Every structure is written in structure tokens, then in C-alpha cells.
Structure 1
Amino acid sequence: MKLSTKGRYGLKAMFQLSILYGDGPIPLKLIAEKQNIPDQYLEQLVAALRKEGYVKSVRGAQGGYMLALPPEKITVGDIIRTLEGPVAPSECVIDDDTSVCTRKDCCVTRVVWEKIRDSINNVVDSITLQDMLNDYNSLANKDDYNIF
């Protein structure tokens, strides 16, 4: 299973917003520049995140985007599912949709896919943007680590 650029770039953008949380609206161009994300692509990602209530926008000369919730209230899972859809290694275990598989009652591999799906969801739902900030601050204190 591999995330597309939607999920990877979206998480990077949300992380950038969490770094600047409380500083007011941040221009999209700055986020794109800091995270090396194409401006137009970032606009699409932020629109989806705004629609789900994770980002809010402010119009005008001093406008931009900011987190709609504190970093500790937004999980990696929230971001990934907003941009990528359900997290699952196989179609047959997306949202426990049992209608996809006619062999669901006797399929051993389905049990494996369910365990993988549940494990991934547990991990991404246990990591908040605040956790990422804490990790960033720990890494930033190391002399040989250079981020942003």
C-alpha cells in the first residue's frame, strides 16, 4: 500500500500549518514554498481539507489559511482519509463492505487484509499534528538535523 502525492503533500501542508499555528492566516504560497509543493496542487488539497473542517481560510491582503482546530485535535488519519479515502490494502475490506466479496465467509486472506487495515488505521489515528510537532522539535534540537 502506498500513499499518493495527495496524502503525502496534504500531510506536509498540514504539518506546516501546525508549525505556524496561532500566527494567523498563512499564505498558500508560503506553505507551498516551505514544503516544496506545487501551488495549484496545494490549492486542491487545502480545498478538500477546508471542506472537512480541518482548515479555514481568511480572505484579503492579510489572508491565507490556518488550522481550524488545534494540532492535538487533528490526526494523520483524518488528513489521509480526507485526501485519499478509506485506508485499506484491498477493496474487499474498505469500510467493512461485505457486498464486494462473495467469498467473505470462507476467505482466509480477507482476515489478513482486515488486520492490516485495522493496524494501519490504529497507527494513523494515534498520531496527531501535535505529536508530529513534538517529534520535529526533538529532531530540530539535534545538531546534524536540518529541516525547513
Structure 2
Amino acid sequence: MKISTKGRYGLTIMMELSAKFGEGPISLKSIAEKNQLSEHYLEQLIAPLRNAGLVKSIRGAYGGYILSKDPDTITAGDVIRILEGPISPVDFTEEDDPAKRNLWLRIRDSIAEVLDSTTLLDLIQYTDKSEADSYMFYI
């Protein structure tokens, strides 16, 4: 399974909204500029997220979008499924070799477990431990 720009940019939108959670609405224009993405494309992605109840739109001069739930209750899996559809590495049928079918199911379940156990809060709080440990300071 390859995650397309829909899923990747959708997670970007949701992470930006998570980072500003409780501070008021964020415009798609500001998200697009900050991440060097097309505002028009982000507008297409926000609609399914709004329809699924993950974000709310606020109208007006200082409007934009806010998360409809706390960032620690929305998972990466929620966002990916809304924008990409079901999580499956391959399309398989009941006639497939049982050993291969079992492999595809295990891969699907592993991917789903990672996506479903990673919240938006986890993503915005993530720091690359290896990068942090790679600096040496001498006094």
C-alpha cells in the first residue's frame, strides 16, 4: 500500500490544526503557505475530513478550520481511511493461496495497528530521538 498525497497532505492539515488546537481557527491558506502546498488541493482534502466530523469550519473574516475533537482522540488511521479508503496492501480474493492471503492479512493488520495507535498528538509531539542524540557538545 502506498499512501498518496491525499493521505500525506491530509495528515499535514490535521497536524497543523492539532498544533494550534484551542487557539482558534486556522486558514488553509496559512497551512498551504507554511508547508509549500497548493491551497486549492488542501480545499479538496478538507471537505471529506469535515464531512467525517474530524474538523469544523468557522466562517468569517477570522475564520478557518478547527479540530472537532481533541488531538489525542484522532488517529492517523482515521485520517488515512477517510482520504485513502480501506487499508490493504493488495486486493486479494478468497481464491488466493491461503499462505499468501495470510501474509497480506498480517501486513494489513500490522499497518492498521501502527496507524490506529498513533494519534495526532503523538505526531506533533514526536521528536526524532536519533537526531537529538547525535549532537555532541564539548565544554
What's the TM-score once normalised by structure 1's chain length?
Answer: 0.83
**SS, match of residue 57 in structure 2:** strand
Q: Give the structure 1 partner of residue 52 of structure 2.
A: 52
Q: Aligned partners of 1:10, 1:34: CA distance in 2, in Å?
A: 14
The 5 Å alignment of 1:28-107 reads 28-92=28-92, 101-104=93-96, 106-107=97-98
**SS, match of residue 72 in structure 2:** helix
Counting aligned pairs with the same residue, the percent is 50
Q: Give the structure 2 partner of residue 110 of structure 1.
A: 101
How far apart are residue 33 of structure 1 and its match? Answer: 1.1
How far apart are residue 107 of structure 1 and its match? Answer: 2.5
Higher relative contact order (CA 8 A, sep 6+): 2
**SS, match of residue 80 in structure 2:** helix
**SS, match of residue 66 in structure 2:** strand
Q: Does the 8 Å CA contact 1:77/1:121 hold for their aligned counterparts?
A: yes
TM-align CA RMSD: 2.3
Q: Aligned partners of 1:138, 1:69: CA distance in 2, in Å?
A: 28
Is 1:125 aligned to residue 116 of structure 2?
yes
Q: Structure 2: 5+ residue runs without aligned partners?
A: none
Change (3 A) 1:116 1:43: same
Q: Give the structure 1 partner of residue 27 of structure 2.
A: 27
How far apart are residue 119 of structure 1 and its match? Answer: 0.3
Q: Does the 8 Å CA contact 1:26/1:66 hold for their aligned counterparts?
A: yes
What's the TM-score once normalised by structure 2's chain length?
Answer: 0.88
Q: Give the structure 2 partner of residue 98 of structure 1.
A: none
Q: Does the 8 Å CA contact 1:13/1:35 hold for their aligned counterparts?
A: no
Q: Give the structure 2 partner of residue 14 of structure 1.
A: 14
Change (3 A) 1:74 1:116: same
- Structure 1 stretches of at least 4 aligned residues deviating more than 3 Å after TM superposition: 136-139
